Amino acid sequence: MKSITQEKVEMESITPYGYVKDGKVVLKKFDSFDEREVGEVRENPEESLQYFVDRYNHIKEKIEQIEKDVESSENKGSYLMKILHMRSKLVTYNGLGDFVYLFSLLNELEDKVREYINENRVRNEVTKTNIVQEAELLKDSTQWKEASEKYSEMKSIWIRTGNASDEVEEVLRHRFEEAVNHFFNRRNSFFKKQTKVAKDRIDEYKQLIDEVKEINNAGRGIEKYYDIRDIKGSWKKIGAIPKKKLVRLNQEFETELSAFFKTIKQRIDELHDIDEALAQDLKGEYLKDVQRILNSGSPYRINKVKEIQGTWRKLGRFPTEEDKTVNLKFRIVCNEIFESYFLDMAAKNSSPNFFKKSKQEQLNVKLDLVAEDINKDEMELSVFDNQMSDDGYDSQELIKKKSNLINKIRTKKRIEKKLRDELDTVNPNNGFQM
């Protein structure tokens, strides 16, 4: 049998940090830690000691890996709790090895991480102070959308930024929340008021529509015109509401107004001494009529357009910008209707079985014709310019003829663009080349 001394020497050759006694594996005293049992002998003392040496090496590798992670990490502060937890675990950890080294390594890591955290808190304090100052400057803004987006951005930065020092973190947080809440309470109050204002305005719009309906239902005509004019004036003064609702209400209002003016248009020949206000309203209605004829497309109601033109002339002209504008719009629409009508006739006469062709073929026939017309008119305009330049002759008659020719070219180019747009709709690959 081996002596105890020999047996102990063999154990020390495995590890100098522990030994076996009475079937127990013991960790020797180190620093302020008394020796303690870490386990029992299983198969034999040597294997039992080696088992606890291996356990020590396992936790040593973990701690050294933490050291590497701290060195390479951009956010070293996130490792503080892991270091503290590991040190707490080390106090009762069952293993045999140099625990003094491990505690020393963990203490150094803690000091390094805490230094990093303190430096970061100084930077965080600067960042959060800047955010708070910006938030307080913005809290009384009325640029609701832009300011809301800015506050959202500030909140995001605040969340990503770590804590400042303990003595200022709570103060900064309170100031920031106070500024944010102040702004959003104001914004919510504003939109709550706006909602009520919009509702009241919608009710006003609906009331005016009902008033026009009541006049129409009573079959009242010209004698109620000035009431209608007052209603139109009131309509313009009500103010803004959500766009979709305004569009719907405008359509309903215009429908009722058109119904009212229709009764006047039916008796237009009976009216005498039409004042400017009524004339402008009637012109507005006739302009809508010709626009509908143009938009409805071929076949164009030419006789109806001529009839409207005759009535338009009876309404007279007035020395106002409003009258000049509506007259110009009316002339442009009528010119386009007539040119479109003439183009239809030319296409029908120039191409046999025109209406049996496909839509794409019909459009191509029209495009060829209108392009040819534009070319002829532009050549004529060039001759006109040369003639006027050579002769030095600029009579009002020639100037008027030139102006009419320019308007014809512009009208035909609008028609040409519409035809091309329609062709693109019929054949999306039109003009595509491989």
Residue type, 113: V
The answer to whether the CB of 231 falls within 8 A of the CB of 208 is yes
Please report, rounded to a whole number, the percentage of residues in the chain having pLDDT higher than 90.
Answer: 51
Q: Is the dihedral of CA 60, 66, 68, 71 positive or negative?
A: negative
Residue with the two structure tokens 């938030």: 135
Residue 86: pLDDT band by 50, 70, 90 thresholds? Answer: very high
Q: What is the pLDDT of residue 429?
A: 62
d(CA 97, CA 53): 6
Residue 390: pLDDT band by 50, 70, 90 thresholds? Answer: low
Residue type, 302: I
Q: Where does residue 298 fall: left (phi above 0), alpha (psi -120 to 50 degrees), or beta otherwise?
A: beta
Instruction: Please say if the pLDDT value at position 152 is more than 90.
Output: yes
Q: How many CB atoms lie within 10 A of CB 248?
A: 12
d(CA 117, CA 106): 16
Residue 300: pLDDT band by 50, 70, 90 thresholds? Answer: confident
Task: State the burial class of residue 176 (Cβ atoms within 10 Å of its Cβ: 0-12, 13-18, 19+).
Answer: buried
Say if residue 319 is preceded by a cis peptide, omega within 30 of 0.
no
Q: Which of 224-228, 231-235, 350-354, 372-376 has the lowest mean pLDDT?
A: 350-354
Residue 13: pLDDT band by 50, 70, 90 thresholds? Answer: confident
Which among 198, 197, 229, 236 has a CA at the least distance from the CA of 212?
229
The answer to whether the CB of 24 falls within 8 A of the CB of 37 is yes
Taking residues 73-97, report their average pLDDT.
91
Which among 289, 253, 250, 282 has a CA at the least distance from the CA of 268?
282
Taking residues 182-194, report their average pLDDT.
93
Instruction: Please say if the pLDDT value at position 12 is more than 80.
Output: no
Q: Which of 51-55, 128-132, 203-207, 213-217 has the lowest mean pLDDT?
A: 213-217
Sheet with 24-27: strands ordered across: 18-21, 24-27, 36-40
Taking residues 371-388, report their average pLDDT.
82
Token readout for 266 is 């039916």
**β-bridge partners, 30:** 33
H or E element: which one contains 26?
strand 24-27
Residue type, 375: N
The answer to whether the CB of 132 falls within 8 A of the CB of 151 is no
Alpha-carbon distance values, 148 to 145, 152, 172, 178 (Å): 5, 6, 20, 15
Q: What is the pLDDT of residue 108?
A: 94
Which carries the bigger pLDDT value, residue 338 or residue 165?
338
Residue 270: pLDDT band by 50, 70, 90 thresholds? Answer: confident
d(CA 171, CA 233): 56
Asked whether the whole model's pTM tops 0.95, one would answer no
Which carries the bigger pLDDT value, residue 428 or residue 165?
165
Q: What is the pLDDT of residue 58?
A: 96
The answer to whether the CB of 264 falls within 8 A of the CB of 271 is yes
